[in-house]
Structure 1
Amino acid sequence: MTIFLYKLFLGFITGSLIGTFSYITNLLTKSGAFAVLFIAIIVCGFGPWLTWALLILFFTSSGCIHFAKKMLKVNNIDTITEKGHTRDAWQVIANSLPAITSLIIFYYTKNQLFLIGYVSAIAGATADTWGSEIGTLSRTAPRSIISFKSIEQGISGGVSVLGSIASFFGSLLISVSFWLLYELYHTSNLSVSMLLLVPLICGVSNAFIDSLLGATLQVKYSCPVCGQVTEKRQHHLNQTQRISGISWLTNDWVNFFSGCSTVMLSWSIVFYL
């Protein structure tokens, strides 16, 4: 119990540092910073130290990409996306809840299947974030994952070559890091495919599922003033009109469902391997 409380305290310190820095640099809202604090406490309290490292790696790499884009003065797409780049609590929780659920189950069962489920979810979140952030740097317009027609940058469901490559390397970063850290400090008979390939495949799948749900089921609106397709309920101070998707299925729900799909996919693969 002493070690567990000690880990919770470490999680509080780590989460406070990440949340405060992210809030100051406009990566997170105030509610988003508190959500990160909560998640850090859970991960540090219930997971082995390498799970903390992967979480920090996800936030650090995503933050570096964001700052690089600001320095390059990339065009802002916040008028299209529902909430913009500054994430609130719902966005943080939607991206993290499937992962921490799998981690908590791992803590009580000690079944490696659930640890790999956590890693796969982090790989998926990294792949999705890298794909979205770096994909906006593409000189060619993204294409709908369903119709393959060109769509406006920032609209959910669009994919580009650059964004797809970024998603792959984001998932690869988490997968390779997990493999190296696990092999360094654990003696087990888990294969390389279990440690490396499963999180990699599931992470890339997360970005695909996210785009697929974004293109088919996520709610989208049209601005009555400029006619622009947007994910916002209001545009140019006017109420937008729903043109497609399920009314309650916002990008937060898409992230949550794609995360759940990624975790369950990893469970299924590991179970049958």
Structure 2
Amino acid sequence: MLNFTIGLIYSSLISFAAYKKSSLNISGFLAAIALGTAIYFFGGLWFFNIMIAFFVSSSLLTKFKGINKKYLDKLNEKDGRRDYIQVFVNGGIGLVLALLYYIYNNPIFLLAYAVSFGVATSDTWASEVGVLSKDKPLSILTLKPIEKGMSGGISTLGTTFAFLGSAFISLIFFISYIVLYNDIKQGLTYSSLCLILGFIGSIIDSILGASIQAQYYCEEIECFTEKKVYKNKPNRLVKGFSVINNDVVNFVSNLMATLMVFLLC
């Protein structure tokens, strides 16, 4: 019961601060409290710290040079305030893994949990910083220039921060593993795997974004977009499948990278 109470207090305070800073809308605020409380209850402090490392760093980068990202409003399906779907897309797999760790007390679930948030952090850092690149991104499949902010694009800046985001989570994981298990050698092995799979997850995300994610063309503003509708008028689907949006791509890429932990270990 103590872990539940501590998790509820911490999650409420951090989520409220994020809501006031417009990093979460009201549904995202409530979902973040529920997710954070459950993760703290099942996994304890270090599971919670990994989640918070992702959430706080990603929220700060979303706000970083926000004035230079205003043009993304016409391209992206959602704005910078995360809703409940985005909260659970990024943290739902981690919640399941925290539950499995609670039941079996096996460090493999801690590793998989860290990889899940490594993928989310890698992808978010790449997206939020990559759009600030002076050069146009290239499609990861065709290597042809595409519009900044569209899914499936890669740039040197974005790829660098994808790697750094995964490295950041792998470092937090390494510290967590040493505190919990006092095994430096195994911790280094697992944290290296966390770094690699977190980065791979962001690459998978880009590939799925460039291939099967829905992209539309808006006649009114004469540009490609991820929005189905603009000013109550449907946009024309030009690529991918209408049922696959950015949330689906994020979830699938996260799941694929996380499952690799169990295949490799």
Which TM-score band (shorter chain)? over 0.9
Secondary structure of the 1:148 match is coil
Q: Tell me whether 1:268 sits opposite 2:263 in the alignment.
A: yes
Alpha-carbon contact 1:218-1:251 (below 8 Å) kept: yes
Q: Distance in 2 between matches of 1:219 and 1:46?
A: 36
Q: Distance in 2 between matches of 1:126 and 1:78?
A: 21
Does structure 2 conserve the Cα–Cα contact (< 8 Å) formed by 1:225 and 1:238?
A: no
* Separation in structure 1 between the aligned mates of residue 50 and residue 184 of structure 2, nearest angstrom: 22
Q: State whether structure 2 residue 69 is matched by structure 1 residue 90.
A: no
Q: 1:74 aligns to what SS in structure 2?
A: helix
1:185 to partner: Cα distance: 4.3
Number of positions where the alignment pairs a residue of Structure 1 with one of Structure 2? 264
Indicate whether 1:104 and 2:99 are aligned. yes
> Which residue of the partner structure matches residue 61 of structure 1?
57
2:138 to 143, 158, 170: 143
Within a 5 Å distance, the mapping from 1:178-197 to structure 2 comes to 178-188=173-183, 191-197=186-192
One-letter amino acid of the counterpart of residue 74, structure 1: N
| 1:154-206 alpha-carbon deviations (Å, 9 max, x no partner) | 11111111000001011101101211232134234762443311110111011
What does the per-residue CA deviation read over 1:115-161, in whole Å, with 9 as the maximum and x for residues that have no partner? 10000011111111100001011000111010010000111111111
Aligned AA (2:211):
T
Contact 1:102 1:263 in 2 (8 A): no
Asked if 1 retains the 8 angstrom alpha-carbon contact of 2:3 and 2:44, the reply is no
The answer on 1:75 being equivalent to 2:32 is no
- Check the 8 A contact 1:224/1:238 in 2, yes or no: no
Say if 1:99 and 1:263, in contact at 8 Å, map to a contact too. Answer: no
**What letter matches 1:252 in structure 2?**
D
- Cα distance, 1:84 vs structure 2: 2.0
TM-score by length of 1: 0.92
The 4+ residue runs of structure 1 with deviation greater than 4 A are: none
Give 2:152's aligned residue.
157
Q: Deviation at 1:65?
A: 1.7
1:29 to 8, 22, 25: 25
What's the Cα RMSD here?
Answer: 1.5
Match of residue 8, structure 2, among 12, 33, 38:
12
Counterpart residue identity of residue 55, structure 1: M
Contact 1:222 1:230 in 2 (8 A): yes
Question: How far apart, in 1, do the equivalents of 2:172 and 2:113 lie?
Answer: 14
**Once the 2 structures are TM-superposed, how far is the Cα of residue 237 of structure 1 from its aligned partner?**
4.3
Give the TM-score of the pair, scaled to structure 2.
0.95
C-alpha distance in 2 between matches for 1:58 and 1:126: 5
Q: Which amino acid aligns with 2:198?
A: G
Matched, 1:225 2:220: yes
Question: Which of the numbers 130, 134, 146 marks the counterpart of 2:129?
Answer: 134
- Picking from 40, 43, 54, the partner of 1:44 is 40
Unaligned runs of 5+ in 2: none
Provide the C-alpha distance between the structure 1 equivalents of 2:181 and 2:187, rounded to a whole number of angstroms: 13
1:206-251: CA deviation from partner (whole Å, max 9, x where unpaired): 1101111111111111112233111101125421011111121111
| Aligned partner letter, 1:139 | K
